Amino acid sequence: MKPLKSESVNCLQGTVHVPADKSISHRALMIGALAVGETRIDGLLEGEDVQKTSIALRNLGVVIEKKAFGSWLVKGRGVCGLIEPVRVLDMGNSGTAARLLLGVLAAHPFSATLSGDASLSSRPMGRVIKPLKAMGAIFHSRSDGRLPISITGNVDPMPIDYELPVASAQVKSSILLAGLGAAGRTQVIEPKPTRNHTELMLRHFGAEVDVKDLQGGARSVSLKGQPELNARNVNVPGDISSAAFPMIASLLTPGSRVTIKGVGINPLRAGLLEVLKKMGGSIILANKSTEAGEPVADLIVEGSSLKGVTVAPDHAPSMIDEYPILAVCAACAKGTTRLEGLSELRVKESDRLDSMARGLEACGVDLEEGEDFLVIHGDGSVPRGGAKITTALDHRIAMSFLVLGTVTTKPIIIDDEEPIETSFPGFVELMNGLGSHITEP
């Protein structure tokens, strides 16, 4: 365990690049591995989560070479072309790596075993086991479908029509990746649209993916099985979920002006931008472009006075990973913020509702926690701080409280900086480069 302390500073200034998008990085590696030919990925996230995907794919026979920082070459083996691994595949802390890879493996006729750290081993995998079983895969798992899990894929997976019980891009993607091996159309119906990086990336590699909006805000995504995927180049944009930390630190410190270059602003990921603008945040989008179907822009953020808002459950899928840092923002805003429809936060890297509620309370924030909501009462002044926060193997909890420490009256200490490596290598250096004061206690 390596603790870190964050102390208040006056303002943040500068121009930065945040690390590449974690979701897109996992997908570029996996889909590149299933394509024919050499896929070059530029700007791949080199955090621990994505490295787990890369090591697992190597264990499945894929040649993956690092050419330079962020620049990787994947020599694909074609759809259903992976080979039986000799080792247990360690997914570390990454739910995305585990769930998406189970989908890939469901269409391969061999056995593999996936393991993970204490956090990942406590997360529900039944949500992917159920549809993948219907496609013909066989599973052995710990109780309640937890890791370690052994899967034996099917040589001839069945195409299915599946209605997701919860809006989850990981489950949707897992089924679509299994559907690559099925003879026929695999259809997933999601109750609310979730991030569509898998669909965009599959199309970029030549697959036929149809998307239809249905009544009541639901969406159908269907994939024609057994396509020939052809290797493509991919430029991975900056991760909006990582940009959220310097962005909110800048909004909270008066006089700040920070530019974050090349951030992915896919509308199914960018719900936070809308909410922050509604709170009164000054955020300008400049230099808009598109990379492999993904919209990208520079974000120019200035210190702002923020007011409380209600964030309805409909918003959750487009900003699911941003609630911890949004809760920090709400604690410093004037008025009440209601965050609703948050049940999925209970099954993330930690129980994020609980982690945020306990940590904010320890910092003197007035709040109410429900089974699936958080109400935060801000009075527009900075919270007291002065607490030691339990990060519970959760990178976003660690970074959220280090951001809160940049404004609180007393410093905040987090008990362990190590989880930050999963998604944001260089976080402390980047924040201190902008003017934060984050050090060893």
Asked if residue 21 binds ligand S3P (CB under 6 A), the reply is: no
Asked if residue 29 binds ligand S3P (CB under 6 A), the reply is: no
| Stretch of 162-170, 257-265, 307-315, 410-418 contacting ligand S3P, by CB under 6 A | 162-170
Asked if residue 223 binds ligand S3P (CB under 6 A), the reply is: no
Q: 228, exposed or middle or buried, with CB in 10 Å at 0-12, 13-18, 19+?
A: exposed
Task: Give the Cβ contact number of residue 416 at 10 Å.
Answer: 18
| Stretch of 32-40, 167-175, 217-225, 376-384 contacting ligand S3P, by CB under 6 A | 167-175
Decide whether 53 or 259 has the Cβ nearer to ligand S3P: 53
Q: CA 80, CA 155: separation in Å to the nearest integer?
A: 9
Q: Which residue has the tokens 């200034």?
A: 13
58 token code pair? 């190597």
* Least separation in angstroms between CB 413 and ligand S3P: 26
Asked if residue 170 binds ligand S3P (CB under 6 A), the reply is: yes
The pattern of x and - marking residues 65 through 104 that bind ligand S3P according to CB under 6 A reads -------------------------------x--------
Decide whether 108 or 197 has the Cβ nearer to ligand S3P: 197
Decide whether 64 or 100 has the Cβ nearer to ligand S3P: 100
How many angstroms separate the Cα of 90 from the Cα of each of 96, 180, 271, 324?
13, 24, 32, 27
Pick from 169, 248, 353, 389 the residue near ligand S3P by CB under 6 A. 169
Choosing from 321, 351, 354, 415, the catalytic residue is 321
Decide whether 36 or 347 has the Cβ nearer to ligand S3P: 347
Asked if residue 123 binds ligand S3P (CB under 6 A), the reply is: no
Decide whether 90 or 239 has the Cβ nearer to ligand S3P: 239
Asked if residue 195 binds ligand S3P (CB under 6 A), the reply is: yes
Decide whether 321 or 394 has the Cβ nearer to ligand S3P: 321
How many angstroms separate the Cα of 264 from the Cα of each of 85, 269, 299?
34, 8, 10
DSSP 50-116: HHHHHHHHHHTT-EEEEEETTEEEEEEE-TT-----SS-EE-TT-HHHHHHHHHHHHTSSSEEEEE-
Asked if residue 320 binds ligand S3P (CB under 6 A), the reply is: yes
* Least separation in angstroms between CB 172 and ligand S3P: 7
Asked if residue 196 binds ligand S3P (CB under 6 A), the reply is: no
How many angstroms separate the Cα of 320 from the Cα of each of 93, 315, 326, 376?
17, 8, 10, 18
Asked if residue 395 binds ligand S3P (CB under 6 A), the reply is: no
* Least separation in angstroms between CB 380 and ligand S3P: 30
Number of residues that bind ligand S3P (CB under 6 A): 10
* Least separation in angstroms between CB 265 and ligand S3P: 16
Asked if residue 408 binds ligand S3P (CB under 6 A), the reply is: no
| Stretch of 4-12, 55-63, 164-172, 354-362 contacting ligand S3P, by CB under 6 A | 164-172
Asked if residue 25 binds ligand S3P (CB under 6 A), the reply is: no
Q: CA 335, CA 192: separation in Å to the nearest integer?
A: 29
Vertex 172 angle, CA 121 and 151, to 5°: 45
Chain positions 341 to 370 lying near ligand S3P, rule: CB under 6 A, are 344
Q: Indicate the helix (H) or strand (E) that contains 337.
A: strand 334-340
Decide whether 394 or 417 has the Cβ nearer to ligand S3P: 394
Q: CA 157, CA 134: separation in Å to the nearest integer?
A: 9
Determine the straight-line distance between the first and last CA of the chain, rounded to whole angstroms.
13
Q: CA 69, CA 287: separation in Å to the nearest integer?
A: 24
Task: Give the Cβ contact number of residue 10 at 10 Å.
Answer: 12
Task: Give the Cβ contact number of residue 209 at 10 Å.
Answer: 18
Asked if residue 173 binds ligand S3P (CB under 6 A), the reply is: yes
Task: Give the Cβ contact number of residue 41 at 10 Å.
Answer: 25
Q: Residue 41, CB half-sphere, CA atoms under 13 Å: how many?
A: 33
* Least separation in angstroms between CB 382 and ligand S3P: 29
Asked if residue 321 binds ligand S3P (CB under 6 A), the reply is: yes
Pick from 23, 259, 266, 422 the residue near ligand S3P by CB under 6 A. 23
> Is residue 321 annotated as a catalytic residue, yes or no?
yes
Residues that bind ligand S3P (CB under 6 A): 23, 96, 168-170, 173, 195, 320-321, 344
- Residues designated as active site: 321
